[in-house]
Structure formats: structure tokens, C-alpha cells
Chains A and B, each alone.
Chain A
Amino acid sequence: MQAYLKLDHIDKTFTRGNATTEVLKDISLTIEKGEYVSIIGHSGCGKSTLLNIVAGLTGATNGGVLLENREVNSPGPDRAVVFQNHSLLPWLTVYENVKLGVDKVFSSTKSRAERDAWVMHNLNLVQMAHAKDKRPSEISGGMKQRVGIARALAMEPKVLLLDEPFGALDALTRAHLQDSVMALHQKLGNTILMITHDVDEAVLLSDRIVMMTNGPSARIGEVLEVPLARPRKRLELATNPGYLKCRQRVLEFLYERHRFVEAA
């Protein structure tokens, strides 16, 4: 199996003064091209740190990240991130927010008109073209996250990193956006690494679910294949035995074997 994205024996230790905390311990994971992998774990287990390491925003203490067999250790548009709190720049319009990345990535390969068309194409993908001249403060939370997704997609990343992308949304908006992301993945075949703490979301969206043990020194506890055919339909899955079995497995992992312990 040719690994597209490879996390190779990653350790991460934070040092503050004399105190050192080992957050991640020996994380190894390979992801194939086009695969949708979720990382799930209790809060504080270091899953966001892991995503930041893959994004290059944080350095690993030991080990590293290989993308197409090349080590990556600084942030770049080939690993675009959809941030949990959307992180749109409030002084730019929706269009300008997406264009910021497009202008950088395609400065030499696309003409001005092509870049403009590409921005609009990506806004259309997330059904946000109608709000292109609005500012982030003028659109809803779900819409902001759509624009965040468009911004990431527009950079044509090799890997799309989603950092709890639906965490700040209400349940109905979340379901709607999950369906959109599923449709986009189906259509574009992106390789996606998603951080989540929502069991249903992980099972619904992923090809594989990586379950992390509690920190400190969080490890990969178990990797679960989700053998459900795509396209998946939320309503049909509710009674699908395969879906329920996967859900059961993740729940058992999270709530029986690795119960969340409140940090003292």
C-alpha cells in the first residue's frame, strides 16, 4: 500500500519552564489518497495538536509527517485547514477571503480572470456564491464555515484538514453541512483528515476512524474501518446494522475503555 500521507512515529512534548508534558506518544498513521479519516478522542487528548502538526503550525518533538514521501514541517496550502471557528478575516468580504489563498497559490499558473472564476467556482461548490460581497459578520455561523471550506478547497490542497469543523454549529446546521462535505468528498475525491468528538459524525463521514486514548501521552488506541457503501444517506443509516455496529465500537472505546477523566 502506497501511503499518501504518513504520520511517522510522532511524539509531542510541551515544555513550560521546568514542567514538561508529553501530549502525544508514538503516533503512526498512513492515509491513502482519497481517503476520509477521522480522529476521535476526548477533549484534551491532543487531537488538535496532532492536526496542527500535520498542518505544520506546530512542530513535532520526534518523528514527522510525510506527504507523497516528502517531509513537510512548515504550513502550506497543500495541507489547507478548515478551522473550528472558521477564522475568516472580518475586514474582507466572503469573496476576498477565498481569493486571498487563491491569489497566493495560483499567482503564476492562473490569470486574473481564471482566478476570479476559480473563486466563484469554489463558492458555488459550497452554495455561497450569492453572499460573495457580504462580510463574515453579516452571515450565519454555518455560512461562515461553508466559506471556510471554500477557502480551503480553493487552494487545491493535497490533504484537507478539518479541525472540528462542525463543532461550533447547531445540530441542524451541522447535519446539513456534514451532508455538503460528504457530497464534496464524493465529487472531488479529496483526501481528508478530520478531528471530531462526535461519534455519529465520525461514523457517517469516515472511511476509517482513529480512536485516541486519553492524554497525557495519548496514543492511537484503535483504528476502525467503516465498511459502509457510499454515497451514504443519513436516514437510511440510522437503522443500518453496519452503521450501528461501528457506532457501538466507537462508543465502547470512548466510554468504557477510555473514559474521560477530568484533569485534577
Chain B
Amino acid sequence: MSMPAIKSEATAVAIPTSAAPVVMMTPKPAPRAEKYVKMSKEIAVRVVPPLIVLALLMLFWELVCRRTGSTLPPPSRVFKDTKELIFDPFFDNGGIDKGLFWHLSASLQRVAYGYSIAAIVGIALGTLVGQSVWAMRGLDPLFQVLRTIPPLAWLPLSLAAFRDGQPSAIFVIFITSVWPIIINTAVGIRNIPQDYRNVAAVVQLNPLEFFSKIMIPAAAPYIFTGLRIGIGLSWLAIVAAEMLIGGVGIGFFIWDAWNSSHISEIILALFYVGIIGFVLDRLIAGLANVVTRGTALN
């Protein structure tokens, strides 16, 4: 009876001393295959549910639009009609008869110009309004009124001013996306903690250093929130603006397809517009994460 008791006591003592180093020193390296399985599981968790929902929606769409007399084509028809456009996005027959790649890149170019100007002007004006009480009192009411004007309402005015479609479209992008950038930057600057200002004062940073070393990094999460809203709005505005100005661009492509009753092409274009809008948003969010090292307000 006493033998097993002693034995178990001995093992009980031995376990912590011998087991501890084993746990500490060799953190069991997971086999590579196991790691891949785990990774693919994680990916599956994210990808499978939206795929299932998408498949169900497509099925529903197919069933509803398959009936004769339906006004919209079912997905199978869309694919059949637009196969050429999907598989050859790079053709160029001159004029506006180009592949979707060229239309999208023309639209993206306009957005890039307008949005870049909006980012620079927006951050500069936002800093001014955030920093100076007088600038805020003077400019803020103006901004609050101007920002409510719908993007397309600016188009006739800018066409009158620039007398050309390209700069007008860029202006509409600019004027659409600049407001959220201004307002968010101003809020970010206003919210810089007094502590950081005190540090800057004790170290005696000059205004330029204060701007680059304290203001911009401290307000960066807010600025990027503004930039993200801005990119979304400019992508919204470009399609509408291009419908009116014509020429090469995804907006006019859609309008042109409507005029020629190519409903399938409209659906394909909408699909691309959505995907690119999503990618643009993720791009700015990713940039925010890199720049602010994960402190952005996501």
C-alpha cells in the first residue's frame, strides 16, 4: 500500500522540474502542413459565407429573370452577351469603342487628378481651420453650406468655366471629395492633446516642424478617415459626371450601353464599378494602416 504512494509522490515532484524546461525551450513547432490547414480554414471562414450568399442571389436572379417577358437579363444571358468584353478588355477600335480597361483607366485617371488635388487642398484648409479660431469662424459656415451641394449641380458651372469636359469632371471630383477631408482634418487638428503642444513648446519646435512632427502624425487617423470618405465620394461622382460629359470613361460607357439597349453591358460595368470602388477604399485604408501604424480609426 505504501509503495504506490511513495512512487506517485516521486513522480509528482519530478514532473514540474523535468517538464518545465521542455515547455519553455521547445515551443512545439507546428508541422507545416498543419499550419496550412489552419490558414486555409481561416480563409474559408471569410470567403465561404459570401460565396454562398452570392450563389443564392445569382440563383434567385436567374429564376426571376428567366421568364419570357422579363425586362432584365438573367446572369447566364449577361455572361453570354458580355463574354467578349470580359475576355478582351484591351481592344481599341478608336473613338469610344474601346475595351473596358480603357474606360476604367480613363475614369480612374480623372479620379486620381481630382482626388489628389482635393487631398492636398483639403489637408491644407483643414489644418488652417483646425488651427486658427478666426479661420474657423470665417470659413466653417461657408464649408457647411457648400458641402451640401450635390456633386452634379457643380457640373454645369464648371463646364461654363472650363469649357471642356475633362477639367470639369476633375473639378467635380475635387469639389465632391474635398469637404470630408477638410472637416476631418480640422477635427483632428483641433483634437491634438494640449500635452503634445506643451511638449512641442518646451522643445521649441518651429511652426514648420510642429506641423510635420506633431500635427500631421497626431491628426493622421482623422485625416485618413476624411480621405477614405473622400475616395468613396469621388468614385460615386465620377460615374454620374461622365454620363453627362461623354467621351471615354466608365460612366459614359454605361450611358452608351443604355442608349443602345445593351442591358447586359450595364450590369457588367456596374460589377466593375463596385469592385473598383471597394479596392480604392481598401487601398486608402491600407495606406492609413501603414502610415499611422495601426492607430487609424477603422
Contacts and interface: CB of A to CB of B under 8 A. Distances in A.
A55 interface: yes
Contacts, number: 55
Contacts of B220: 91
B202 A76 contact: yes
A83 B204 contact: no
Contacts of B292: 91
B201 interface: yes
Interface stretch (B192-200, B233-241, B281-289): B192-200
A104 interface: yes
A101 interface: yes
Contacts of B195: 83, 85, 87
Contacts of A85: 195
A175 interface: no
B41 interface: no
Interface string A22-36: 000000000000000
A237 interface: no
A75 B217 contact: no
Given A83-B195, A89-B217, A104 B295 contact: no
Q: Quick one: which of A87, A90, A91 has the most chain B CB within 10 A?
A: A91
The CB with the most chain A CB atoms within 10 A, among B193, B203, B204, B218, is that of B203
Nearest to B206: A104
Nearest to A96: B213
Contacts of A80: 202
A25 B232 CA distance: 57
A98 to B, nearest CB: 11
Contacts of A135: 293
B205 interface: yes
A26 to B, nearest CB: 26
B214 interface: yes
Contacts of A91: 217-218, 220, 292-293, 295
Given A91-B292, A91-B295, A77 B199 contact: no
What does DSSP make chain A's interface, helix, strand, loop or mixed?
loop
A177 to B, nearest CB: 19
A77 B204 contact: yes
B198 A77 contact: no
A155 interface: yes
A90 B220 CA distance: 12
Nearest to B199: A87
A89 B199 contact: yes
A6 interface: no
Contacts of B201: 56-57, 74-75
Nearest to A91: B217
Interface in A30-69: 55-57
Nearest to A83: B195
A117 to B, nearest CB: 19
Given A57-B198, A85-B195, A87-B196, A100 B295 contact: no
A75 B202 CA distance: 5
- Which of A55, A74, A104 gathers the greatest number of chain B CB atoms within 10 Å? A104
Contacts of A105: 203
Contacts of B202: 55, 57, 75-77, 79-81, 101, 155
B205 A104 contact: yes
A77 B203 contact: yes
Interface string B211-254: 00110011010000000000000000000000000000000000
Contacts of B217: 89, 91-92
A79 B203 CA distance: 10
Contacts of A89: 196, 199, 214, 217-218
A55 B198 CA distance: 10
A90 B199 contact: no
Contacts of B295: 90-91
B287 to A, nearest CB: 15
Contacts of B199: 83, 87, 89, 100
Contacts of A104: 203-205, 209
A74 to B, nearest CB: 8
Interface in B256-298: 292-293, 295
Given A90-B295, A91-B293, A91-B295, A100 B203 contact: yes
14 contacts: A75-B198, A75-B204, A77-B202, A77-B204, A79-B202, A81-B202, A83-B198, A83-B199, A87-B193, A91-B217, A91-B220, A91-B293, A104-B203, A135-B293
The 9 closest A-B pairs by CB, nearest first: A87-B195, A75-B201, A91-B217, A101-B203, A75-B202, A104-B203, A87-B199, A81-B202, A57-B198
Given A75-B204, A81-B198, A101-B203, 20 more contacts: A55-B198, A57-B198, A74-B201, A75-B198, A75-B202, A76-B204, A77-B202, A77-B204, A85-B195, A87-B195, A87-B198, A87-B199, A89-B199, A89-B218, A91-B295, A101-B202, A104-B203, A104-B204, A104-B205, A155-B203
